[in-house]
Amino acid sequence: MAIPKEGSHLYLSHVSRSIANTSPSLRKIETYHGPGNPEHHGFSGPIQVSDGPFRGRTIEDDWLQAAEQVGYPEIKDLQSLDTNNGFQRWLKYATPEGKRSDVARGYIHPRLRDGKHPNLHVLVEHNVVRVLFDERKRACGVEFTPNTRFQPQANGSASQANQTVRARKLVIVSCGACGTPPVLERSGIGGKDVLDRAGVPLIQELPGVGSGYQDHLKVPYVFKTSLKEDETADALLSGRLSLKDAIAQEHPHLGWNFVDLASKIRPTDTEVAALGPEFQAAWDRDFKNRPNKPLMVMVIVSGLYGDNASVLPTGQFLSILPFTAYSYSRGHMHITGPEVSDALDFDTGFFNDKNDIDLKKLIWGYKKGREIMRRTKMYRGEHQPCHPRFPKGSKAALDEEWNQSVDGSPVVDLEYSTEDDAAIEQYIREHVETSWHSLGTAKMAPQDKMGVVDKNLNVYGVEGLKVTDISIAPENVGANTANTAMVIGERAADIIAKELGIIIK
């Protein structure tokens, strides 16, 4: 749940010292039901963190003993800000009974129902078009429109015209890394060239809006196993067990997200050197002397992650999802017109980083995950559609017809040739995915460093407008990004309450 500390949880620049001390906010978020030092966790927050009602213990035990063999021990609690380089029996944003715990259920719904917040109104099924400004460039309201995917239409157009709501003190934009830049740009805040092309009058030139898009790059791989049907999620994922029947049976897997293991891991010095001089330089600069900073997060899914059409209606699988913890790739998110319905210019930027450092990370991650899996008792070969196609005669060829090691002899690492690495690279380029961990498109930084907001979340050059979502993060994080977004929200609430003279109880 926590993020390896790099100056702070959010790897924030000097301008953001007011939200750099995020540990209290992390503890404030959670009600923690797991192991570890109580000083690192909270126990009365709105978000439940627990095992849930079901864990795949056979997979956990088998994987952890195999990971130990390649140098990654089991760590009881990876969620302090310094612990790194091992695997944990991962917890979930879920209640112990198996109900999902999220921002809507933890923060919003209780306040809508408690009768104590009559000034809280939530309008669903609508899109924000733009923020409105007065002649002093002060935010004074918001224009919004029905979401045509949900609202009834007449004669091909939405049944309602655009509407506005006025603000006396403050407008807050919190639409996420992909939603905030379009709102700001449609409002006239952004790069002049972008707004000119889109036909939007310029209010404030901020070229950092929509730039610097970051994500965690991920490529999943699937392995065949000897596991029993009740030990993986494949029955539900493949449809062998229908959701209707599972509900009728009160099946324990319904309270399971199928992820019981994850890690924060780093390569050895030898492995770093093998990735080439450019990778070595990046490692020495950004990772070597920061032992709490992982190169990669590796997640283990108890079932086939991907297209179940590629398998027979039987079989139990395990999937490995390595993703780049601190990606070097950068993309952008911009508007092409003044309306919500206009197409977006979105480029993920995947693999556009100098010297292919992100690609090399994923090549290393594939090899490392495969070596751990080959040392498990459940391993029964690779599921071919979800792996590279190695050249004929390769020493790293897939074990499609599984053969157990002779006489129980130790498993020896596979040898990969230059051609093998090329096959892995091709597969990665063809199958790379988003982790849905977008951030960085309205970053907190000095304005001359492509910053969009200052240390108090104010948008540069205008008044009465703040951004309070994960788009403000100037650099990536070594974890899932949900908790980062919640930390930003908690700190934003403190900042706003102080400015408005509100006492938070």
Rg (CA), the chain: 24
How many Å separate Cα 46 from the centre of its chain? 20
Asked if 478 contacts 325 with a C-beta cutoff of 8 angstroms, the reply is yes
287: how many CB neighbours lie within 10 A of its CB? 17
CA atoms within 13 A on the CB side of 54: 18
Closest listed residue to residue 183, CA positions, set 467, 457, 450: 467
Residue 402, annotated as binding a ligand: no
- Give bridge partners of residue 157 from the DSSP assignment: 154
Residue 9, annotated as binding a ligand: no
| Strand 47-49 with 30-32, pairing | parallel
Task: Supply 417's token pair.
Answer: 């040739």
Residue 437, annotated as binding a ligand: yes
Which SS3 state, helix, strand or coil, does residue 20 take? coil
Helix (H) or strand (E) holding 172, with range, is: strand 171-173
How many Å separate Cα 470 from the centre of its chain? 11
DSSP characters for 177-223? Answer: HHHHHHHHHHTTEE-HHHHHHHT---SEE-TTTTEEEB--EE--EEE
**C-alpha dist (Å) from residue 83 to 65, 74, 100, 288:** 19, 11, 26, 15
The DSSP call for residue 503 is: P
Asked if 208 contacts 451 with a C-beta cutoff of 8 angstroms, the reply is yes
The DSSP call for residue 410 is: P
* 437 is a catalytic site residue: yes
Task: Supply 446's token pair.
Answer: 């000095």
Task: Supply 311's token pair.
Answer: 């398998």
Catalytic residue among 40, 216, 332, 437: 437
Asked if 126 contacts 145 with a C-beta cutoff of 8 angstroms, the reply is yes
Task: State the binding site for FAD.
Answer: 128, 436-437
Task: State the binding site.
Answer: 128, 436-437
Q: Show which residues are catalytic.
A: 437
